[in-house]
Each structure stands twice: as C-alpha cells, then as structure tokens.
Chain A
Amino acid sequence: NAGVTQTPKFQVLKTGQSMTLQCAQDMNHNSMYWYRQDPGMGLRLIYYSASEGTTDKGEVPNGYNVSRLNKREFSLRLESAAPSQTSVYFCASSFARGPQGYEQYFGPGTRLTVT
C-alpha cells in the first residue's frame, strides 16, 4: 500500500497562475483533508471532505477550491496564485468512523513557491 500520495512534490508559480494539487489514498478512508503549513507554523485546515461527494471549508479556504473526485482522490486548486500562498501543502486521510478511527495519515507534502 502506498498510503497517501501527493503530486507534485515541488512547484514554482508566478503570481496569477493556476494549478491543481493532486492527492490520492489507497486505504479506503472516508474523510480527506487539505492543510497548509507555513515555515515554523502549525497546520491550518483549508478544506475537508467527510465523504465522497461532500466538501466543507476549513479555517483558511479563501483562494482555494477542492474536488472530491471519488473516494480515493481529493484535489486542491489554486485559481490565481498569490505570494501569500507560498507554503507546504499536506493532504491527509482518515477512516473517521467508530470510536477509534480518527487518526489522520499524511502525504509527503507539496512545497509551493509563488513569485
């Protein structure tokens, strides 16, 4: 099992460009999440999806859109990149059912720089 995979690993964008970050999990998890982590900071939730076909805003959704394509895949789109979106982006997934199933498994991250 690959766990949670993310592409690309690194990306440099110019201000105003768009891009989509891809995430896939092979653990049959129900919930998926997108976080951003700025240098020396904690994890801030951008969007999450509690199940296939549903998405909800987290604490910092502005400037982003998401799509839960199927149970495995959850993509994050930047429509018009800004330097403030320079960050490391982590995708995570969780079974999110029952009393013990809420631990999250993270992908390796995408390091995005917007110039």
Chain B
Amino acid sequence: GQQVMQIPQYQHVQEGEDFTTYCNSSTTLSNIQWYKQRPGGHPVFLIQLVKSGEVKKQKRLTFQFGEAKKNSSLHITATQTTDVGTYFCAGLVNTNAGKSTFGDGTTLTVKP
C-alpha cells in the first residue's frame, strides 16, 4: 500500500536556527497536507499543496511540493519556542475516497 515516509523523526534546535522536515511518498500524490500537533493537543491543519512544484509561505513557514508530486518539505526560518510540536505530512492518493496517509511526524524541540 501507499507509504509516506517523514524525516527526521526528531529535531532539536536552538531558538533562531532554521528547521526543515521532509516527506516522501512511494506513489504520486493528488495533494499533500501539513499539520501541526502541540504536545497534548490534536493535529491542526496548516496548509494544502496541490500543484507540481508549488511553493507556499505562511510567515516564517515555507512549504514545497516536488515536481513529481512525490515529495514535500516544510521549512521554518528562525525558529521560536512557539514552533515546538510535531509536524505531520499527509498524502492524498485517491480523491474519491478522500483518505490521506499520514507520515509518522517530525517532533521539533526548541531550546531558548
């Protein structure tokens, strides 16, 4: 079945450093979504990418969708303590089913 691999599993950074998490799918995706889960919380939708090569920005966060629509990345510039949490990607293969496969997430900790 479809697999979505996410690396790294953990990332510890000093406040102000940059952070990147990568997502790779074994199959071509219709779209990819990114979510953030704060410790003890529930996943919260951040953004959805649909087009090949698409780049979207949300303040210090930059999201990219690969040309082949099999990989994606989330880059955070100048991390802050509020960025702490686990970031998940989710790849959609079959739009009829509306079912996405989640990666295992990257947990970010930020040292002040």
Q: How many residues of A contact B (CB 8 A)?
A: 28
Q: Is the CB of A107 within 8 A of B42?
A: yes
B1, B33, B98, B102: the one within 8 Å of A50 (CB)? B98
| CB contact list, A61-115 vs B, under 8 A | 90, 92, 94, 96-97, 99-100, 102-109
Total of A-B residue pairs, C-beta within 8 Å: 64
Q: Flag if A42 contacts B33 (CB, 8 Å).
A: no
7 contacts between A and B (CB under 8 A): A45-B101, A59-B1, A90-B42, A102-B100, A103-B45, A104-B43, A108-B41
Contact mask for chain A residues 37-48; partner B; CB cutoff 8 A; 1 contact, 0 none: 000011101001
Q: CB-CB < 8 A to A92: which residues of B? A: 43
Whether B103 and A102, one on each chain, are in contact in the complex, defined by CB atoms closer than 8 angstroms, is no
- In the assembled complex, the CB of B91 is this many whole angstroms from the nearest CB of chain A, namely 10
Shortest C-beta distance, B37 to chain A (Å), equals 9
Residues 22-43 of chain B: 1 if any A CB is under 8 Å from the residue's CB, otherwise 0? 0000000011010100000111
Cβ 8 A contact of B45, one of A56, A104, A109: A104
Indicate whether A30 sits within 8 Å of B98 (C-beta atoms), given known contacts A42-B88, A102-B31, A104-B33: yes
Asked if B97 and A50 make an inter-chain contact with CB atoms under 8 angstroms apart, the answer reads: yes
In the complex, A31 has a CB within 8 A of chain B: yes
Residues of A participating in the B interface, judged by any CB pair closer than 8 Å: 30-31, 33, 35, 41-43, 45, 48, 50, 56, 58-59, 90, 92, 94, 96-97, 99-100, 102-109
Q: How far is the CB of A88 from chain B (nearest CB, A)?
A: 9
